[in-house]
Amino acid sequence: MSLCPRAAAQALHSPPELEQHEYKQHAAYFDPQDHPHYTLHPSSRFGADNEPLLESSAPSVDHPNAGIRSPQSLHSLLARRLARLVSSAVAASSSSSSSSSTGSTTSSRPSRKRWLPALLLLNLAVTVAAFVAACVHFNTFTTLFLYLALLIVAFPILSLTFLLLSSNSASYKLRLPQFSPFSSPDFEQSSFRFSSNSPAPTAASTSRRSCRSFRLDRLARYVQYVLASLWFLALVEWLFFQPFFDTTSPSASDDLAIFLKSSPASRIAPPPQPLKVFIASNLYNSQDILPTYSASLKGLIQHLGAHNVFISIYESHSTDQTKPMLAQLDADLAHLHVDRQIVRDDGAARMNKSSPVQDRIEFLANVRNLAMQPLAQSAHAHNFSHVLWINDIVFTPQDAVRLLNTNNAHYDQACAMDFIGNGFYDTWVTRDAQAQTLKRQWPYFKQPHDIDAMRQGTPFVVNSCWNGMSAFDAKWFVPPKSQFAQPAQPPIQFRSSSTCLSSECQLVSYDIHRATHPKRPNILINPAVKVAYTHRHYRLYNSILSWPLVRPWRIVWRDWIAHRLFGWLTESRRWPNECQLKQPWWSTEAAS
């Protein structure tokens, strides 16, 4: 075949990559030593079609006859030009027929690499939308949702993007036309070209665009590698480092417990000893949580035994479906032969959130005492081992049993941890062992041993707590057998304070301190029991935060960046310790 100067120049300038079915004999190769009459210009010089130039060398002036052509050479030149015209016509007709048969897909279809910026912008928009949707759904703003959006949304879309682009990468090859024996090198140079799937733009714009595209592609791939590494670490931890526990099957009617039965809060052991529990609740406009509340309560009764439980619920002034739902719960408990008292009373004037705080505390103390009346009036009150208070929360039977079994059921008071969207909820009531207040953000407490206990899920000592669900030794609410009991001795009742603004729940812990002074009572928080006031927040703190995929976020962001580096910024958000009059009564000695 005839030599192709243009293809040879392009091959020297940017050697093509041959496909698997192509071999070297299918391409044109050019050796300048074999053709000294051609000159390969540097890459800074391009032809009209933006290709490197390979032109005939000018005749040397050293030879006197260099510019004189013989008649034979003129004849051959005319013959070559005539052949060039014929070949051009043939090539034009063949190219037009080829383009009409195959369509204009090759020239009109751009390379998929050009889609990368648009696809990355689409990925960013979807990821941001997922992050915002999670913040709205859980009613809180946290970097956890951004982290999960990157891993669960951005990473799969990014991987699909690169898979799509790599499936149609630009392939270059030399297209060799069929030349006639009379074709000249000049004609070959004009008719042969090095082509790709995309048209060649100008050199400057191509350079800038390719540079930006390369940097964008490299950055996106770095992000993909980081996210893939996080997925790999999460998989390794889940396979090799996650402990496995036996779980207790919840009640068949408790759908939420079934959904969450593998969560840390639901992995419990059987009770070390039979418990006889007085369960009390105050409810108001609780229709959203009552289905789960009722199912969990019935599951707890089945676990403890109907003969070991008394249910006391006091409801007042609800304006939703709480009253009829409690009537249905009453009928269900009757079917289970459970001793109970469910009161629906609208007699006393209810204090709402606009009422003075002191009046609200007095009202709440009164309705809590009404819920405790069956225990105080029972002739068999001393048969109960524990009292379990449950607020209008989302919980499972396993949560309640785990709390009752805290420290092998030996405590004066044991509390769960209750959460809302932006963190720990009951900061007004809870005080640590040094009488310090809490903050809503992790790690909530200030003392290192309390923080370590929370990480390990082991109970630790505090001065006061309530936290949505609280268990007591029943002796604190049962009238004493001796008539010579001291004023601070049982039975303890819910009350308000005229000298210090405090919750009726905190004053119960305070009165236990007074009764045991100077010894510290055994008041514990069990961080393995997490409850919430909505279903979505229960899933957030019991399920999502325990995912192996979230562990890097917990270690890097929550423990190191947010707590160790910038935790001082949230110290001002601790609840102010307004009640200094209590300080002398907060016991400092070890629990007896």
pTM check: above 0.75: no
Q: What are 413's strand-pairing partners?
A: 472, 523
pLDDT for residue 39: 53
Using 50, 70 and 90 to split pLDDT, how confident is the model at 382? Answer: confident
Backbone φ and ψ of 204, nearest 5°: -65, -45
Tell me the mean pLDDT in the region 305-334. Answer: 96
Q: What are 394's strand-pairing partners?
A: 532
For the stretch 272-297, pLDDT in tens is 568 999 999 999 999 999 999 999 99
Q: What are 39's strand-pairing partners?
A: 55
Using 50, 70 and 90 to split pLDDT, how confident is the model at 561? Answer: very high
pLDDT for residue 553: 93
Place of tokens 């006393």: 348
For the stretch 14-64, pLDDT in tens is 555 545 444 444 445 455 555 555 555 554 454 555 545 444 444 444 444
Tell me the mean pLDDT in the region 404-414. Answer: 97
**Domain 255-585 of CATH type 1.10.287.610:** no
Strands 386-390 and 469-473: antiparallel
pLDDT for residue 249: 37
Query: Exposure of 178 by Cβ count < 10 A (0-12 exposed, 13-18 middle, 19+ buried)?
Result: exposed
Using 50, 70 and 90 to split pLDDT, how confident is the model at 4? Answer: low
Decide which of 272 and 372 is more confident: 372
pLDDT for residue 222: 86
pLDDT for residue 170: 46
Using 50, 70 and 90 to split pLDDT, how confident is the model at 582? Answer: low
Alpha helices in 339-443 (DSSP H): 357-377, 397-404
Tell me the mean pLDDT in the region 558-565. Answer: 91
pLDDT for residue 227: 85
Q: What is the mean pLDDT of the chain?
A: 77
For the stretch 499-521, pLDDT in tens is 888 899 999 999 999 898 888 99
Tell me the mean pLDDT in the region 425-432. Answer: 93
CB 496 within 8 A of CB 504: yes
Distance between alpha carbon 231 and the CA centroid of its chain, in Å? 12
pLDDT for residue 573: 78
pLDDT for residue 473: 96
- Lowest mean pLDDT of 177-191, 208-222, 313-327, 426-440, name the range: 177-191
CB 352 within 8 A of CB 362: no
pLDDT for residue 210: 65
CA distance 208 to 214: 10
% of the chain beyond a pLDDT of 70: 63
Decide which of 231 and 52 is more confident: 231
Decide which of 81 and 474 is more confident: 474
Tell me the mean pLDDT in the region 79-93. Answer: 63
Using 50, 70 and 90 to split pLDDT, how confident is the model at 497? Answer: confident
pLDDT for residue 288: 96
For the stretch 135-183, pLDDT in tens is 999 999 999 999 999 999 999 998 888 888 776 554 444 444 554 555 5
- Lowest mean pLDDT of 78-87, 254-263, 493-502, 531-540, name the range: 254-263
Beta-carbon count within 10 A of 75 CB: 11
Q: How many CA atoms lie within 13 A of 352 on its CB side?
A: 5
pLDDT for residue 168: 53
Decide which of 542 and 353 is more confident: 542
Place of tokens 């195959």: 102
pLDDT for residue 265: 40
For the stretch 343-358, pLDDT in tens is 998 876 666 666 788 8
Tell me the mean pLDDT in the region 182-210. Answer: 52
Using 50, 70 and 90 to split pLDDT, how confident is the model at 381? Answer: confident
Residue 101 has pLDDT above 70, yes or no: no
CA distance 247 to 338: 26
pLDDT for residue 343: 95
Using 50, 70 and 90 to split pLDDT, how confident is the model at 223? Answer: confident
Using 50, 70 and 90 to split pLDDT, how confident is the model at 542? Answer: very high
pLDDT for residue 339: 96
DSSP 217-237: HHHHHHHHHHHHHHHHHHHHH
CA distance 413 to 435: 16
For the stretch 519-531, pLDDT in tens is 899 999 999 999 9
CATH 3.90.550.10 region(s) of the chain?
Answer: 255-585
Tell me the mean pLDDT in the region 362-385. Answer: 91
Could you tell me which residues come within 8 angstroms of residue 48 by beta carbon, excluding any fewer than 6 positions away?
none
Beta-carbon count within 10 A of 578 CB: 12
Residue 430 has pLDDT above 70, yes or no: yes
